[in-house]
Amino acid sequence: MKVYYDLKDFVKLKKAVVTTGTFDGLHLGHQTILRRLKEIAAKEKGETVVLTFDPHPRIVIYNDTNIRLITTLAEKIALLEKEGIDHLIVLPFTKEFSRISSIDFVRNILVSAIGTTKLVIGYNHLFGRNREGSFEHLLEYGPVYGFDVEEIPAQEIDNVDISSTKIREALEVGKIPLANKYLGHPFSMRGKVVEGNKKGRTIGFPTANILSADAHKMIPGVGVYAVRVKMEGKDWGGMMNVGFRPTIQEAQNINVEVHVFAFSGDIYGQEIEVFPLKKIRDEKKFESLEHLKLQLEHDKMKSLELLK
């Protein structure tokens, strides 16, 4: 997959089969669009193009610094590459770009710069200044600029529309299996291991404190989770605490700490990837470190059972 961060680097294609959107999470609904994209490209001997944006439009338009994203840009690129997409264009989303009209977006970007002959979009897709562009607009513009449009209906699992918003809501309350079901792939978090207060090692549960590589990356809701950990080229089992560490020292910000089973090496400064499997319990304050240790031993047994 070729990745472009500037339209000037992209050479207009003869037959570009295109989709556009933020694709946060690259969930099952997005994957349906991509499958159709590849089917059309194979049939018409064209090339697949995904057009996305960075940063997320809500950060720029609404100054939404609290937004939490299911996938970072790096994770999104990796997932799209696995899907077998030919070209990925990551357009810088700025205030100026947000003011582009829907007709200019179609004429100048989709047609003139990319060479779109077929456009595949998701249900209720809106684009352009003030989200003025719609499927009906695209049907109107298509014959004028020489491209066809196809809309993919909302995907449903258990009669619930799949959306990035619903996946975020599931993650916020720790419903990892539900989030993964909608995603169609495991949710994960990457980050560097940084030094903490090292209290965990005094009770036999040393933890790796994880600092996310992206401030907007989604973190599951407060609680204790059974996890898989990928580090140093190997897979490990473990458990993770997301919260404020009320027993040891009440923190002002949420901390992510991972205890890796059967590991005792030094991984400070290394990047690890954590895959939450299931929430075990809520975070709570214990009377003493000894009471906390007893609970952690119980949590470990439960996590090991889940990891089987």
Q: What is the CA radius of gyration of the chain?
A: 22
In terms of Cβ atoms closer than 10 Å to its own Cβ (0-12, 13-18, 19+), residue 71 is buried
User: Do 22 and 127 reside in the same domain of the chain?
Assistant: yes
pLDDT of residue 285: 83
Nearest to 74 by CA among 152, 169, 182, 191: 191
In-domain check, residue 52: yes
Confidence of residue 40 (pLDDT cuts 50, 70, 90): very high
pLDDT of residue 245: 74
Between 252 and 74, the more confident residue is 74
In-domain check, residue 166: no
Rounded mean pLDDT of 67-94?
Answer: 96
Rounded mean pLDDT of 126-142?
Answer: 79
Confidence of residue 197 (pLDDT cuts 50, 70, 90): low
Confidence of residue 266 (pLDDT cuts 50, 70, 90): confident
Confidence of residue 41 (pLDDT cuts 50, 70, 90): very high
User: Do 11 and 156 reside in the same domain of the chain?
Assistant: yes
pLDDT above 90: residue 212: no
CATH for 87: 3.40.50.620
User: Do 135 and 52 reside in the same domain of the chain?
Assistant: yes
From 142, 161, 180, give the residue that closes a domain: 161
Residues 6 or more apart whose Cβ sits within 8 Å of residue 211: 191, 192, 193, 194
Q: Which residue has the tokens 């299996």?
A: 177
Is the distance from CB of 5 to CB of 93 less than 8 angstroms? no
From 161, 177, 205, give the residue that closes a domain: 161
Rounded mean pLDDT of 175-195?
Answer: 94
- What range defines the domain where residue 271 resides? 188-307
pLDDT above 90: residue 257: yes
User: Do 124 and 207 reside in the same domain of the chain?
Assistant: no
User: Do 74 and 123 reside in the same domain of the chain?
Assistant: yes
pLDDT above 70: residue 231: yes
Confidence of residue 65 (pLDDT cuts 50, 70, 90): confident
User: Do 10 and 90 reside in the same domain of the chain?
Assistant: yes
User: Do 131 and 248 reside in the same domain of the chain?
Assistant: no
Beta strand 16-20 with 116-122: parallel, antiparallel or unpaired?
parallel
User: Do 193 and 143 reside in the same domain of the chain?
Assistant: no
Average pLDDT, the chain: 90
Structure tokens at 179: 């989030």
From 125, 143, 161, give the residue that closes a domain: 161
Between 146 and 205, the more confident residue is 146
pLDDT above 80: residue 249: no
In-domain check, residue 106: yes
User: Do 103 and 7 reside in the same domain of the chain?
Assistant: yes
3-class secondary structure, 221: coil
In-domain check, residue 35: yes
Structure tokens at 35: 């499958």
Maximum CA extent, the chain: 73
Rounded mean pLDDT of 168-180?
Answer: 97
* Range in 21-25, 73-77, 108-112, 127-131 the model is least confident about: 127-131
Number of structural domains the chain divides into:
2
pTM: 0.89
pLDDT in tens, 6-18: 999 999 999 999 9
Distance CA 115, CA 168 (A): 34
User: Do 31 and 96 reside in the same domain of the chain?
Assistant: yes
User: Do 157 and 17 reside in the same domain of the chain?
Assistant: yes
User: Do 131 and 11 reside in the same domain of the chain?
Assistant: yes
In-domain check, residue 173: no
Indicate if the alpha-carbon torsion angle 128, 133, 135, 139 is positive or negative: negative
Query: Percent helix, strand, coil in the chain (nearest 5)?
Result: 35, 30, 35
pLDDT above 70: residue 248: no
pLDDT above 90: residue 227: yes
CATH for 293: 2.40.30.30
Instruction: Provide, rounded to the nearest whole percent, the portion of the chain with pLDDT above 70.
Output: 93
pLDDT of residue 63: 87
Rounded mean pLDDT of 178-200?
Answer: 87
Q: Which residue has the tokens 């939450």?
A: 276
- Give one word for 59, left, alpha or beta, with left for phi > 0 and alpha for psi -120 to 50: alpha
List strand residue ranges (DSSP E) for 153-297, in order: 156-157, 160-161, 189-194, 208-212, 223-231, 234-243, 255-260, 271-281
Beta strand 47-54 with 2-4: parallel, antiparallel or unpaired?
unpaired
In-domain check, residue 36: yes
In-domain check, residue 94: yes
In terms of Cβ atoms closer than 10 Å to its own Cβ (0-12, 13-18, 19+), residue 79 is buried
In-domain check, residue 16: yes
